[in-house]
Amino acid sequence: MTLAQPEALNFECETGNYHTFCPISCVAWLYQKIEDSFFLVIGTKTCGYFLQNAMGVMIFAEPRYAMAELEEGDISAQLNDYEELKRLCLQIKRDRNPSVIVWIGTCTTEIIKMDLEGLAPKLESEIGIPIVVARANGLDYAFTQGEDTVLAAMAVKCPDQAPVAEAEKNERNAIAKLLNFGRKKEEVAAEESEYVNHPPLVLFGSLPDPVVTQLTLELKKQGIKVSGWLPAKRYTELPVLEEGYYVAGVNPFLSRTATTLMRRRKCKLIGAPFPIGPDGTRAWIEKICSVFGIEPKGLDEREAQIWASLEDYLQLIRGKSVFFMGDNLLEISLARFLVRCGMIVPEIGIPYMDKRYQAAELALLEKTCQEMGVPAPRIVEKPDNYNQIQRIKELKPDLVITGMAHANPLEARGINTKWSVEFTFAQIHGFTNARDILELVTRPLRRNNNLKDLGWEKLVQEEAKV
Amino acid sequence: MKLAYWMYAGPAHIGTLRVASSFKNVHAIMHAPLGDDYFNVMRSMLERERDFTPVTASIVDRNVLARGSQEKVVDNITRKDTEERPDLIVLTPTCTSSILQEDLHNFVERASLEAKADVMLADVNHYRVNELQAADRTLDQIVRFYIEKARKKGELPAGKTEQPSVNIIGISTLGFHNQHDCTELKRLMADLGIQVNEVIPEGASVHNLKNLPKAWFNLVPYRELGLMAARYLEQEFGMPYIDITPMGVVETARCLRKIQQVINQQGADVDYEEYINNQTLYVSQAAWFSRSIDCQNLTGKKAVVFGDSTHAAAMTKILAREMGIHVVWAGTYCKYDAEWFREQVSEYCDEVIVTEDHGQIGDAIARVEPSAIFGTQMERHVGKRLNIPCGVIAAPIHIQNFPIGYKPFCGYEGTNQIADLVYNSFTLGMEDHLLEIFGGHDTKEVITKGISADSDLSWNKEAQAELNKVPGFVRGKVKRNTEKFARDRGFSEITLEVMYAAKEAVGA
């Protein structure tokens, strides 16, 4: 700890004994995003209990998700997997009539080697509903990586030819056309002229609709047209992916999806930092522009304007330190943004580090540290929470970004914490939402400023133990 | 395979963890994949626990799948042993380890050679028992282990305490109002001149388990947790146990009379009748409440009850016997204990329902249209949908069911709390109903908060659609701010761009 920090990023790997959400939690936001989907999690009571508690009140809103709860007969293969799944899927078709059923494979289906990928096509043709299989289990993945497995599976299902969609669009607009007579054509032409001529671009990553709109508009300002988004609002609206299309990720945990898009759909990946924070958003847009040979316009002022509007929050955090325990893979991007905000980051814990997919983000982090004149953080992959707690006790950071399992105990020991899961659900992308990130980051500091004169910081009696 | 959206009782390992982490200085190690340590989140959030939950996972990942856990579990146990110096480490199997069929016994044996702590494998099978049964078994297992250990070492204390004394068995973490019940029971015992020998598992040390036989009797307030341990102690030491839940005025009295009988048989000479009489008539408000005009108004009102065996049975009896409310059906999700439940409540309700299917319960509520529901959080939400008030009486529960204020369900203070709960549920329903008949409090349209009322600004289609996506409770504010922004800058039409520019400008 006393050694001077080297300038280059420093990667370590610990034991992997850390707390995170099970990747099946992705159904919670994906079923809301993809409105005509139904998610069937094939697993045990343990999976169900997690979802039920983690999803909180959402569970009472008749979610389009269910457990296919495996019983002893399923485990010992006394029951036929195919017949059982058929029975449940027919029931789902009858009750909900979704456009797609997503099977989420779990630890148990892995261990008993249930061949979901093999069963799905057969059952799909028998019941007439597409079935997408995603093996989002705790044996292989952490938390947000669940979305990655689902989107990778969906990438394979995207249509590969554009014209069909065009014809459909015309048909749908038939009445509008009738009313508008010839005007329609001009409008389309006018609309098209707002865009620069560039190869089709498809973005991937599930974001709330308002954020999708914001980012799309942001690119429109540069004359870049977003041809589609994986996932779309409906399964039936999955974007066309032809060979040679360009794709760009909006979230740092989508490495499998990126790989699938490149290898199986022959798309070209634009490796950019992620549009989190004004610096990230700007770098993201600039990179996309540069790939298409576009000179970005007005980004300087735009970024400066956003930073200026953040000043009240920046004053609270400048010079403060923040420790990421690591559980949702957003850590690198958030740390990069917070360093730019003037914070010091001693440690970034992260479940899994894809140095290729995150290359541009890592480079920006390194550059940001140099420019801000702060030591580069140590990046700890597969962290060990127990060791991290010891380091936190030693370093006494001003803020720890951590899971709920550690938040209250750390607060009771006088250490400010922010619950990391909130970053997954809050709107944090693009210029518009930079303030929301800082709203989250500064909340514990603001709260504790309000309480600071009470002398109630440490509320546990202990600390004799080594 | 079973299509399931919701479960009332959790998986087995949750029960084991609840018991293990209730004890002081006991550490549980789950043999589980990443993400199965969700128990820590629940304990930290629901119980607002200040200390780190003493549960870690020995992670099962791809490598474990390929080669077995090998040294991993043993290493994790010995590591925890040196880091935390616990008295006991409980290796906890999960659904995953149940199918892997690794020889966890062997790991435990090997680890216990090295570890200073005792090491034990929780004897629960994921596919055979649920959370509640597992908790009961684990408590029994830990008690047996330490009684046997003390016996072998000859450390088992002989004889009873001088004064009549009791062990309270079954108070645990994440139990419904358990902390408050525990305080109330201790207070009750103090009133009766009975010394509390041990409370287990909550806050107990395993070193004290050998003292359990010194008590004159055991009190098991909850049906779900502690009976196995109590039966074991009865069989080993002839200790009588009382499993009458002191919940409600009549049942509390019955419990106290049973205590009187049990200790008088062992040579005490106590008479609690006067205490019971005094508490019932003058101290507790519940008996008086049931005579008051308020309660008269509840006569014959329809209610339904659903929960774990303990609370659903107690509530049914209180509603029917002590308040004259018509319980149309009473139900429990403790299927394994259905017989006991039927026997307890059949004479106090028209119908008994035993099921783990929340859909069936929802339908049964809709069918009956009661004036109030007493159930779990799930029933509370069914009530919301049907516009029927609901009092929460059993787990599964949310954070609001872990109140900071003193809210026991047991003992005489418990009777007051329950009376409030029942009365508030019913009057709220009544109040709503009256308001509806008389046209509500107020008409909402009259009051507007300026600016946006007579708007001269037009919202284009996309912006309007975007506005509609904003959650209702802040929509008005967003609308007003956006329009103010547009007006200040002289925009006449509000587009998406204007909306977001407004958002950035006000920094919200």
Contact B118, B144 (CB under 8 A): no
* pLDDT tops 80 at residue B429: no
Residue with tokens 């589609």: A228
* pLDDT tops 60 at residue A301: yes
Contacts A112 to B, Cβ<8 Å: 99
| B100–chain A Cβ distance below 8 A for any pair | yes
> Is residue A397 reached through a cis peptide bond, with omega within 30 degrees of 0 on the bond before it?
no
Per DSSP, what are the bridge partners of residue B169? B200
* pLDDT tops 80 at residue B366: yes
To the nearest whole angstrom, how far is the Cα of A274 from the nearest Cα of chain B? 20
Exposure of A18 by Cβ count < 10 A (0-12 exposed, 13-18 middle, 19+ buried)? buried
Residue with tokens 């947790």: B225
pLDDT digits (tens, 9 = 90+) for A135-155: 999 999 999 999 999 999 999
3-state helix, strand and coil shares in percent for chain B, rounded to the nearest 5: 55, 15, 30
Four-residue CA torsion sign, A233, A237, A240, A241: positive
| B133–chain A Cβ distance below 8 A for any pair | no
Contacts B173 to A, Cβ<8 Å: none
* pLDDT tops 50 at residue A166: no
Q: What is the pLDDT of residue A191?
A: 62
The whole-model pTM stands at 0.88
List the structure tokens of B239: 């200790």
pLDDT digits (tens, 9 = 90+) for A192-232: 678 899 999 999 999 999 999 999 999 999 999 999 999 99
- The Cα A216–Cα B58 span in angstroms is 44
Q: How confident is the model at residue B481 (pLDDT cuts 50, 70, 90)?
A: confident
Which residue in A has a C-alpha nearest to residue B56's C-alpha?
A17
Mean pLDDT of B211-240: 97
| B191–chain A Cβ distance below 8 A for any pair | no
- The Cα B197–Cα B166 span in angstroms is 5
Show the 3-state SS of A223-242: CCCEEEEECCCCHHHCCCCC
Q: What is the pLDDT of residue A186?
A: 52
- The answer to whether B40 contacts A87, with C-beta atoms less than 8 Å apart, is no
Which residue in B has a C-alpha nearest to residue A58's C-alpha?
B381
pLDDT digits (tens, 9 = 90+) for A351-392: 999 999 999 999 999 999 999 999 999 999 999 999 999 999
Of A21, A44, A217, the CB nearest to B497: A217
CB proximity under 8 Å: A 141-180 to B: 141-143
Output Rg (C-alpha) for chain A, integer angstroms: 24
Mean pLDDT, chain A, whole residue set? 89
* pLDDT tops 90 at residue B327: yes
Contact A309, A390 (CB under 8 A): no
Show the 3-state SS of B424-487: HHHHHHHHHHHHHHCCCCCCCCCCCCCCCCCCCCEECHHHHHHHHHCCHHHHHHHHHHHHHHHH
Q: Which amino acid is at A213?
A: T
CB proximity under 8 Å: A 272-331 to B: 305-306, 309-310
* pLDDT tops 70 at residue A101: yes
List the structure tokens of B266: 């062992």
Q: Which residues of B are catalytic?
A: 294
Q: Which residues have a Cβ under 8 Å from the Cβ of A142 and sit 6 or more positions away?
A: A20, A21, A23, A327, A328, A329, A351, A352, B34, B35
| B154–chain A Cβ distance below 8 A for any pair | no
pLDDT digits (tens, 9 = 90+) for B256-289: 999 999 999 999 999 999 999 999 998 889 999 8
| B404–chain A Cβ distance below 8 A for any pair | no
- The Cα A213–Cα B462 span in angstroms is 10
Top-confidence residue, B294 or B34: B34
Interface test with B, best of A111, A393, A420 (most B CBs within 10 A): A111
pLDDT digits (tens, 9 = 90+) for A7-18: 688 999 998 889
Q: What is the pLDDT of residue B338?
A: 96
Mean pLDDT, chain B, whole residue set? 91
To the nearest whole angstrom, how far is the Cα of B207 from the nearest Cα of chain A? 20
To the nearest whole angstrom, how far is the Cα of B336 from the nearest Cα of chain A? 17
Helix (H) or strand (E) holding A423: helix A421-425
Q: What is the pLDDT of residue A168?
A: 46
Of A92, A110, A138, the CB nearest to B34: A138
Top-confidence residue, B478 or A443: A443
Total residues belonging to chain A: 466
- The answer to whether B44 contacts A404, with C-beta atoms less than 8 Å apart, is yes
Question: From the CB of residue A42, how many other CB atoms can be counted at a distance below 10 Å?
Answer: 25
Q: Among B92-101, B152-161, B469-478, which stretch is predicted with the lowest mean pLDDT?
A: B469-478
Which residue in A has a C-alpha nearest to residue B358's C-alpha?
A60
pLDDT digits (tens, 9 = 90+) for A397-451: 999 999 889 999 999 999 999 999 999 989 999 999 999 999 999 999 898 888 8
Exposure of B231 by Cβ count < 10 A (0-12 exposed, 13-18 middle, 19+ buried)? middle
Q: What is the pLDDT of residue B296?
A: 82
Helix (H) or strand (E) holding A421: helix A421-425
| A53–chain B Cβ distance below 8 A for any pair | yes
Alpha helices per DSSP H over B101-177: 104-114, 131-153
* pLDDT tops 50 at residue B443: no
Exposure of A294 by Cβ count < 10 A (0-12 exposed, 13-18 middle, 19+ buried)? middle
List the structure tokens of B380: 């509370």
Q: What is the pLDDT of residue A109?
A: 93
CB proximity under 8 Å: A 420-439 to B: 431-432, 435
Interface test with B, best of A22, A40, A45 (most B CBs within 10 A): A45
Question: From the CB of residue B254, how many other CB atoms can be counted at a distance below 10 Å?
Answer: 16
- The Cα B236–Cα B241 span in angstroms is 12
- The Cα A143–Cα A26 span in angstroms is 7
Q: What is the longest distance spanned by two Cα atoms in chain A?
A: 83
Strands A65-69, B2-4: parallel, antiparallel or unpaired by DSSP?
antiparallel
Alpha helices per DSSP H over B222-272: 227-237, 249-265
Q: What is the pLDDT of residue A140?
A: 93
Q: What is the pLDDT of residue B448?
A: 41
- The Cα A108–Cα A102 span in angstroms is 17
Q: How far is CA B398 from CA A282, A316, A432, B46, B378, in A?
A: 42, 34, 34, 7, 10
B16 φ, ψ (degrees, to nearest 5) = -60, -45
* pLDDT tops 80 at residue B436: no
Q: Which residues have a Cβ under 8 Å from the Cβ of A398 and sit 6 or more positions away?
A: A320, A321, A322, A416, A445
Q: What is the pLDDT of residue A190?
A: 57
Q: What is the longest distance spanned by two Cα atoms in chain B?
A: 92
- The answer to whether A45 contacts B130, with C-beta atoms less than 8 Å apart, is yes
| B435–chain A Cβ distance below 8 A for any pair | no
- The Cα A412–Cα A404 span in angstroms is 13
Show the 3-state SS of A44-97: CHHHHHHHHHHCHHHHHCCCCEEEEECCHHHHCCCCCHHHHHHHHHHHHHHHHC
- The answer to whether A67 contacts B100, with C-beta atoms less than 8 Å apart, is no
Q: What is the pLDDT of residue A165?
A: 45
* pLDDT tops 80 at residue A338: yes
* pLDDT tops 50 at residue A36: yes
Q: What is the pLDDT of residue B451?
A: 44
Residue with tokens 């809050």: A426
Which residue in A has a C-alpha nearest to residue B94's C-alpha?
A46
Q: How confident is the model at residue B474 (pLDDT cuts 50, 70, 90)?
A: confident
| A63–chain B Cβ distance below 8 A for any pair | yes
| A111–chain B Cβ distance below 8 A for any pair | yes
The ipTM (two decimal places) reads 0.88
List the structure tokens of A340: 């730019």
Mean pLDDT of B167-192: 97
Would you give the distance in Å from CA B126 to the centre of its chain? 20
